């Protein structure tokens, strides 16, 4: 099976498969479907760990820009549908070829984030560089729950604003590409918060998965991930590790999980671009693929560094 690499947008997709993690082995903990693109809608998941993955998804949110992506109804709910004048499909937005996955789904968001407790989320620092905090909204449960879903109602209870960006030094320290955000109010169900790996120990070859909103699509599960280089990333950043994962722009800020412990190992922050034009006149864009062994990896900020900064914030708040 081929694996993904992307070339035309601003951030990320990459995937290559070492022999330690064969895709077509049904005993592999990451055997999901026979797609070359390992992104899956949650209704598609048929695996013993599917219930765990769906529980994890409750703690993953999407960041939107209020002035053009976020237009709630009069009652405060948000209806996401391609019939809305401010929302287009993934395929129309990027002029995708007819056989591209998810091309008819709405693409609306900017980045991904995830809950670490009942009122804080982690994300990538570059996700919050363009606007001031009041210009962002964060929504939860933007998920395609069945194959016939075309409209997505996000109740106002699942819509949050940013009270404060507690930590983001990306503009001056590019290696620290992570942000810690306080929501405008606590979430109603604290059990949404994800479990972090606080003990380290990630090793090269460990299996990984990711949950997030590539290109602002309804939430996707991306399995078949592998830790490639746990000491640095392709750009030489020692705060990151390198991983093989199918990630696109919009996945920035996504939690990357250990397949065995289901704990967060890091925050996805960097990678390659997303599409390649396959017709000379530019009418159609496509996701290209790499064969196993042709490896570039996405960059993932190690969760230990984010937790270290978060602990310092909490200590200051207690003083």
On whether both 180 and 112 belong to a single domain, the answer is yes
Q: What is the pTM of this model?
A: 0.86
Q: What integer pLDDT is reported at residue 282 of this predicted model?
A: 63
Phi-psi label, residue 250: left if phi above 0, alpha if psi -120 to 50, beta otherwise: left
Q: What integer pLDDT is reported at residue 37 of this predicted model?
A: 78
Residue 300 lies in a domain: yes
On whether both 84 and 188 belong to a single domain, the answer is yes
Q: In whole angstroms, what is the distance from residue 214 CA to residue 110 CA?
A: 9
CATH number of the CATH domain containing 83: 2.40.10.10
On whether both 35 and 61 belong to a single domain, the answer is no
Q: What integer pLDDT is reported at residue 296 of this predicted model?
A: 61
Among 164, 194, 224, identify where a domain stops: 194
On whether both 60 and 157 belong to a single domain, the answer is yes
Q: What integer pLDDT is reported at residue 272 of this predicted model?
A: 62
On whether both 162 and 103 belong to a single domain, the answer is yes
Q: What integer pLDDT is reported at residue 233 of this predicted model?
A: 62
On whether both 211 and 248 belong to a single domain, the answer is yes
On whether both 160 and 96 belong to a single domain, the answer is yes
Residue span of the structural domain in which 297 resides: 3-48+195-307
Q: What integer pLDDT is reported at residue 136 of this predicted model?
A: 96
Residue 171 lies in a domain: yes
Residue 166 lies in a domain: yes
On whether both 24 and 138 belong to a single domain, the answer is no
Among 194, 219, 245, identify where a domain stops: 194
On whether both 96 and 179 belong to a single domain, the answer is yes
Q: What integer pLDDT is reported at residue 69 of this predicted model?
A: 73
In tens digits, the chain (319 residues) has pLDDT values of 233 333 333 333 433 333 333 333 333 333 333 346 788 999 999 999 999 999 999 999 999 998 777 788 889 999 998 878 778 898 888 888 888 899 999 999 999 999 999 999 999 999 999 999 999 999 999 999 888 888 899 999 999 999 999 999 998 998 899 999 999 999 999 999 999 999 989 999 999 999 999 999 999 999 989 998 888 666 677 889 999 888 888 999 999 999 999 999 999 998 765 455 566 566 788 776 654 555 567 899 999 999 999 999 998 888 7
> What is the number of structural domains in the chain?
2
On whether both 167 and 276 belong to a single domain, the answer is no
SS (H, E, C) 255-283: EEEECCCCCEEEEEEECCCCCEECCCCCC
Residue 15 lies in a domain: yes
Residue 188 lies in a domain: yes
Among 194, 227, 256, identify where a domain stops: 194
On whether both 160 and 229 belong to a single domain, the answer is no
Residue 314 lies in a domain: no
Secondary structure (DSSP) of the chain: --EEB--SSSS--B----TTS-TT-TTSTT---S-SS-EE-GGG--STTHHHHHHHHTTEEEEEETTTT----TTS-EEE-TTSTT-EEHHHHHTB-TT-TTTTSEE---EEEEESSSSEEEE-GGGGSSS-GGGEEEEE-----STT---EEE-GGGEEEEEEEEE--TTT-TT---EEEEESS--S-GGGSPPB--S----TT-EEEEEE-GGGPSPEEEEEEEEEESS--TT--TTEEEEEB---TT-TT-EEEETTT--EEEEEEE-----EE-STTS--EE--EE-TT----EEEEEHHHHHHHHHHHHHHHH-
On whether both 205 and 269 belong to a single domain, the answer is yes
Residue 319 lies in a domain: no
Residue 67 lies in a domain: yes
């Amino acid at each position: 099976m081929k694996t993904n690499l992307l070339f035309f947008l601003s951030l990320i997709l990459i995937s290559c498969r070492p022999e330690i993690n064969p895709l077509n082995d049904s005993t592999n903990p990451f055997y999901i479907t026979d797609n070359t693109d390992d992104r899956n809608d949650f209704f598609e998941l048929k695996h013993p760990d599917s219930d765990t993955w769906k529980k994890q998804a409750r703690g993953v949110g999407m960041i939107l820009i209020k002035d053009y992506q976020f237009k709630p109804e009069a009652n405060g709910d948000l209806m996401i549908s391609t019939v809305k004048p401010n929302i287009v499909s993934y395929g129309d937005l990027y002029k995708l070829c007819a056989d591209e996955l998810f091309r008819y789904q709405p693409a609306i968001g900017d980045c991904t984030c995830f809950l670490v407790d009942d009122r804080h989320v982690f994300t990538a620092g570059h996700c919050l560089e363009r606007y001031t905090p009041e210009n962002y909204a964060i929504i939860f449960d933007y998920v395609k729950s069945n194959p016939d879903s075309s409209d997505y109602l996000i109740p106002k209870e699942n819509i949050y604003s940013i009270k404060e960006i507690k930590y983001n030094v990306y503009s001056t320290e590019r290696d620290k590409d992570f942000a810690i955000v306080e929501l405008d109010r606590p979430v109603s169900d604290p059990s949404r918060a994800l479990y972090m790996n606080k003990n380290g120990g990630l090793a090269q070859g460990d299996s990984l998965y990711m949950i997030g909103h590539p290109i602002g699509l309804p939430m996707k599960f991306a399995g078949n991930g592998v830790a490639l280089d746990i000491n640095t990333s392709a750009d030489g950043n020692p705060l990151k590790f390198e991983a093989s994962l199918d990630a696109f722009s919009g996945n920035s800020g996504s939690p990357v999980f250990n397949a065995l412990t289901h704990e967060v190992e890091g925050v996805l922050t960097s990678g390659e671009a997303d599409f390649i034009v396959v017709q000379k006149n530019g009418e159609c864009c496509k996701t290209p693929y790499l064969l196993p062994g042709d490896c570039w990896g996405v960059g993932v900020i190690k969760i230990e560094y984010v937790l270290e900064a978060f602990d310092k914030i909490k200590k200051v708040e207690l003083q």
